């Protein structure tokens, strides 16, 4: 249901409940005073409100609005002409409601015109009548007061709706702006980080095939090409995973998983990068560490956390992987001696307010900045928690907590 349709439905229900509430109140007041005619008129008003609610609940919104406007017009007009109780003023309220709530021009003009014409006729008719109001003065004054309150209420109601609509537009604009920036980052990484390595591989294979590159020369660059392809693969995995989370297309299927196996897989994929930077790795994750998590998502989490640590740790640095069980939870930690970051930034890293952005590692490694965002979303999908502690120049520690599984993976 669109915002406009939701607003109309809200206004429709509010108007129907006001009819029932005020009609019921006057039924009681007039019944206590023995005014049978008034009671009958008030019951008709209550019936119109109840019919409107029933039609709205059944999905006949336009018919319900027509009953609301037409029924109110009839009751107010009869009450004003027959009982001279000031109810003709309420015709202005129903005229305004008809203009604001009805979306079809023909129906809107017809019902607004009906209420306006009824108000004008009643005023002219009553102006010619020298007989005062049939109701006591205090009841006449009460009707006028309620009319003013109803008029002020409908104006305030639509003012609030207009304000809500403007806020929703601002939110949508912000989301669109964020989406456009994300698309720009996606095209940027596809154009550079993916096309470059794949292009290098294609060129090398073409040269090998044409004889321009000797087999022994090709063997010498295989490791570099393999590293490029590994980076491109990881980058593509992150792009696809992140895109799917933005579209709501990823669901977690938690099953018993070996945390050590996922960590070992991440170490294997990052070993070349760690070798080039001569980094030391210490893996203290127990062999029996088993968690409840989605297989692919757990591997993506460990892969991205280790890759991030390698990226921001300089040559000769140290990375430590550890895990400890507390109660029914395993806590996995990645600790590095890298460049670190201010404590405030570390605290907001996984708050959901921090947006992914392109970053550079200690060797100017390019990245899209999606890795940690993917970790945050995947950890949340698996009912876990993620946090970071860091100091500039002293390294960073990122922890994730996942439910433990006593069943062997």
In the chain, how many H helices and how many E strands? 12, 9
Task: From first to last of the 409 residues of the chain, give the pLDDT tens digit.
Answer: 666 677 778 878 887 888 888 788 888 888 887 878 878 888 888 898 899 889 888 888 888 888 888 888 888 888 888 777 778 888 888 888 888 777 788 888 888 888 888 888 888 787 776 566 666 667 667 777 777 777 777 777 777 777 777 787 888 888 787 767 666 655 655 555 566 667 777 877 788 788 777 777 777 777 777 767 776 776 677 666 666 665 555 678 889 999 999 999 889 888 878 888 899 999 999 999 999 998 888 988 998 899 889 988 989 999 999 999 999 999 999 999 988 888 888 887 777 554 444 454 455 444 445 678 778 888 998 999 999 999 888 899 999 999 998 765 5
Is residue 271 a contact partner of residue 312, using CB atoms and an 8 Å limit? no
Name residue 137's beta-bridge partners: none
Euclidean distance between CA atoms 293 and 115, whole angstroms? 63
Residue with the two structure tokens 């907001």: 348
Count of CB atoms within 10 A of residue 319's CB? 22
Name residue 280's beta-bridge partners: 318
Euclidean distance between CA atoms 151 and 159, whole angstroms? 12
Euclidean distance between CA atoms 90 and 23, whole angstroms? 13
Quick one: tokens of 78? 């009869």
Dihedrals φ, ψ of 281, to 5°?
-120, 135
Is residue 7 a contact partner of residue 165, using CB atoms and an 8 Å limit? yes
Count of CB atoms within 10 A of residue 216's CB? 7
Is residue 222 a contact partner of residue 232, using CB atoms and an 8 Å limit? no
Confidence (pTM)? 0.49
Is residue 348 a contact partner of residue 354, using CB atoms and an 8 Å limit? yes
Euclidean distance between CA atoms 236 and 193, whole angstroms? 9
Quick one: tokens of 378? 């995947």
Task: Determine the pLDDT at residue 71.
Answer: 85
Residue with the two structure tokens 């939870």: 329
Closest by CA position to 398, among listed 291, 271, 307, 264: 307
To which H or E segment does residue 10 belong?
helix 3-32
Count of CB atoms within 10 A of residue 386's CB? 21
Name residue 397's beta-bridge partners: 335, 389
Euclidean distance between CA atoms 175 and 26, whole angstroms? 49
Euclidean distance between CA atoms 63 and 69, whole angstroms? 10
Closest by CA position to 260, among listed 281, 283, 285: 285
First to last CA, the chain: 45
Range 52-59 contact pairs with CB under 8 angstroms and sequence separation of 24 or more: 52/12, 52/15, 52/16, 52/19, 53/13, 53/16, 53/17, 53/20, 56/9, 56/12, 56/13, 56/16
Q: How do beta strands 329-336 and 318-326 pair? A: antiparallel
Euclidean distance between CA atoms 198 and 105, whole angstroms? 59
Closest by CA position to 404, among listed 254, 193, 273, 206: 254
């Amino acid at each position: 249901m669109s915002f406009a349709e939701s607003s109309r439905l809200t206004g429709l229900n509010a108007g129907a409940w006001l009819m029932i509430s005020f009609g019921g109140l006057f039924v009681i007041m007039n019944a206590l005073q023995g005014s049978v005619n008034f009671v009958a008129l008030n019951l008709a008003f209550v019936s119109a409100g109840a019919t409107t609610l029933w039609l709205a609940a059944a999905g006949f919104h336009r018919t319900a609005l027509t009953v609301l406007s037409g029924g109110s017009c009839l009751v107010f007009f009869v009450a004003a002409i027959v009982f001279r109780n000031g109810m003709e003023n309420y015709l202005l309220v129903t005229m305004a409601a008809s203009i604001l709530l009805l979306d079809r021009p023909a129906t809107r003009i017809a019902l607004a015109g009906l209420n306006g014409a009824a108000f004008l006729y009643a005023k002219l008719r009553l102006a010619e009548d020298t007989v005062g109001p049939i109701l006591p003065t205090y009841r006449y004054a009460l009707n006028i007061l309620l009319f003013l309150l109803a008029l002020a209420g409908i104006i305030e109601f639509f003012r609030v709706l207009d304000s809500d609509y403007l806020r929703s537009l601002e939110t949508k604009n912000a989301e669109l702006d964020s989406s456009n920036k994300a698309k720009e980052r996606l095209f940027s990484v596809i154009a550079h980080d993916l096309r470059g390595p794949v292009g290098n591989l294609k060129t090398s294979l073409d040269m090998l095939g044409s004889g321009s590159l000797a087999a022994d020369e090709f063997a010498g660059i295989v490791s570099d090409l393999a590293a490029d392809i590994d980076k491109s693969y990881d980058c593509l995995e992150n792009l696809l995973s992140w895109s799917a989370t933005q579209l709501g297309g990823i669901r977690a299927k938690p099953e018993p998983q070996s945390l050590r196996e996922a960590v070992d897989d991440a170490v294997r994929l990052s070993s070349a990068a760690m070798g080039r930077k001569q980094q030391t790795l210490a893996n203290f994750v127990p062999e029996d560490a088993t968690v409840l998590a989605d297989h692919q998502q757990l591997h993506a989490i460990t892969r991205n956390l280790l890759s991030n640590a390698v990226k921001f740790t300089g040559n000769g640095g140290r990375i430590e992987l550890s895990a400890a069980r507390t109660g029914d939870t395993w806590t996995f930690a990645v600790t590095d001696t890298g460049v670190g970051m201010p404590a405030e930034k570390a605290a907001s890293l996984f708050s959901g307010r921090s947006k992914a952005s392109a970053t550079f590692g200690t060797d100017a490694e390019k990245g899209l900045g999606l890795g940690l965002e993917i970790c945050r979303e995947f950890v949340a999908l698996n009912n876990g928690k993620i946090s970071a502690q860091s100091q500039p120049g002293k390294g960073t520690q990122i922890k994730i907590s996942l439910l433990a599984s006593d069943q062997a993976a």
